[in-house]
């Protein structure tokens, strides 16, 4: 679907994106604000990405972390919080390279084809790892064959969001309006097969409604689309929309967790808000090209778990709607296989397609 942006919505988008940049600066994320969508790298380490050697076999030079998602997305935010601590502990720079597009397919392909030496890693959500393989008939890579799991770092908690000016106040309102509106309601996503796409299609299937999908280039852009009133609603990771909500640009009307979140205690669950039993979250996992040395994976896994025990890291993640996990490589491998089977069944049941 081609979306025409009017001059007024262009102005709204510019103001909204400026507010996001300011919020990111407050979180210490300003290094990538000017690079959003360009794929240019932003250093996360205190040493500015100089790659100071620790004298160990690994690592002894800077590490690149490719995130196949937009700057400001939930995975991107989590990666910058956690990997800054890992970088400081290892004594080498970790440069984050955002490569959004095709719901993560392109950036993941670059990781798969990189040298398996421990110096190029991927920061993926579970949609990239377990949804795309169930939607795409032709994949340039195989998640089980072409990647080695490193760690499931965190889970991303999600919210149902609408424009601040919207008359929709609850999930029940959204369902009722979708059933009775003369034209289909619209929702944004980070692309076909993205978690924003899958979550709303699962919601629509369970609520027995139909909505029009409007894919954007990434989750950040999808959130801005809601704030600019280009779409009626979206499911978005809380880490991506918290700044917009605080700025009064969007309203989070429900969270997708089984119970309310302490840091968003005033926001009801989707079950409370109008659709009983609906739950959704996503993962942030670190992956490496297949054949990466086991000692490198073990070192990275150990350092990530150390970082996830740091109170400062924990507090930052929780404030962004992220739950620290620290699941190791072997356990992540088991979870990947289970999640692939789970989404295969859900996608078939809900008749979700990549179009």
- Residue 285, helix vs strand vs coil: strand
Q: Are 193 and 353 in contact (CB under 8 A)?
A: no
- Burial class, 298, CB count within 10 angstroms (exposed 0-12 / middle 13-18 / buried 19+): middle
Pairwise CA distance, residues 217 & 15, whole Å: 19
What pLDDT sits at residue 279?
A: 92
What pLDDT sits at residue 45?
A: 42
CB atoms within 10 A of CB 344: 15
DSSP of 158-220: EEEEEETT-S--SHHHHHHHHHH-SS--EEEESSTTSHHHHHHHHHHHHHT---EEEE-SSHH
From residue 266, alpha-carbon distances to 82, 152, 231, 254, 271 in Å are 27, 29, 24, 9, 14
Asked if the bond preceding 59 is cis, omega within 30° of 0, the reply is yes
DSSP of 27-51: TT-GGGGGGTTTT-EEE-STTTT--
pTM of the predicted protein model: 0.77
Q: What structural domains does the chain harbor?
A: 7-155+282-347 (3.40.190.150), 157-280 (3.40.190.10)
Q: Are 191 and 197 in contact (CB under 8 A)?
A: yes
What pLDDT sits at residue 351?
A: 81
| Closest-CA residue to 237 (of 198, 195, 204, 267) | 195
Structure tokens at 212: 């029009």
What pLDDT sits at residue 58?
A: 96
Count CA atoms within 13 Å of residue 74 on its CB side: 38
Q: Are 153 and 83 in contact (CB under 8 A)?
A: no
| Closest-CA residue to 223 (of 202, 241, 198, 205) | 241
| Closest-CA residue to 127 (of 350, 285, 241, 240) | 285
Is the torsion defined by CA of 102, 128, 215, 350 positive or negative? positive
What pLDDT sits at residue 56?
A: 58
The contacts of residue 29 (CB under 8 Å, 6+ apart) are: 72, 77, 80
What pLDDT sits at residue 355?
A: 59
What pLDDT sits at residue 344?
A: 92
- Burial class, 291, CB count within 10 angstroms (exposed 0-12 / middle 13-18 / buried 19+): exposed
Pairwise CA distance, residues 85 & 102, whole Å: 30
Q: Which residues of the chain have pLDDT under 50?
A: 1-12, 14-15, 17-55
- Tokens 């880490």, residue located: 239
Q: Are 66 and 124 in contact (CB under 8 A)?
A: no
């Amino acid at each position: 679907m081609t979306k025409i942006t009017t001059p007024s919505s262009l102005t709204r988008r510019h103001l909204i994106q400026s507010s996001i940049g300011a919020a990111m600066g407050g979180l210490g994320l300003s290094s990538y604000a000017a690079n959003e969508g360009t794929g240019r790298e932003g250093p996360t380490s205190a040493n500015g990405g100089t790659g100071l050697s620790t004298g160990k076999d690994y690592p002894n030079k800077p590490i690149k972390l490719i995130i196949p998602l937009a700057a400001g997305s939930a995975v991107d935010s989590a990666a910058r919080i956690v990997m800054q601590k890992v970088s400081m502990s290892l004594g080498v720079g970790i440069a984050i390279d955002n490569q959004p597009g095709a719901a993560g397919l392109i950036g993941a392909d670059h990781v798969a084809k990189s040298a398996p030496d421990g110096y190029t890693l991927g920061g993926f959500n579970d949609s990239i790892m377990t949804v795309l393989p169930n939607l795409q008939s032709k994949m340039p890579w195989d998640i089980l064959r072409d990647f080695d799991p490193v760690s499931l770092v965190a889970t991303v908690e999600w919210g149902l969001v609408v424009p601040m000016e919207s008359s929709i106040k609850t999930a029940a309102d959204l369902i009722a309006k979708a059933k009775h509106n003369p034209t289909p309601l619209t929702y944004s996503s980070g692309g076909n097969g993205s978690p924003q796409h899958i979550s709303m299609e699962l919601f629509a299937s369970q609520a027995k409604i139909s909505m029009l999908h409007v894919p954007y280039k990434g989750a950040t852009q999808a959130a801005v689309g809601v704030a600019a009133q280009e779409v009626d609603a979206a499911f978005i990771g809380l880490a991506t929309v918290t700044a917009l909500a605080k700025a009064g640009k969007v309203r989070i009307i429900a969270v997708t967790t089984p119970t309310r979140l302490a840091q968003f205690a005033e926001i009801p669950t989707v079950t409370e808000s109008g659709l009983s039993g609906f739950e959704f979250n996503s993962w942030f996992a670190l992956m490496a090209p297949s054949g990466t040395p086991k000692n490198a994976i073990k070192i990275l896994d150990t350092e990530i778990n150390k970082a996830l025990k740091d109170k400062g890291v924990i507090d930052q993640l929780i404030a962004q709607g992220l739950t620290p996990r620290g699941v190791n490589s072997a356990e992540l491998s088991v979870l990947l296989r289970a999640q692939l089977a789970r989404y295969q069944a859900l996608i078939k049941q809900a008749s979700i397609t990549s179009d």
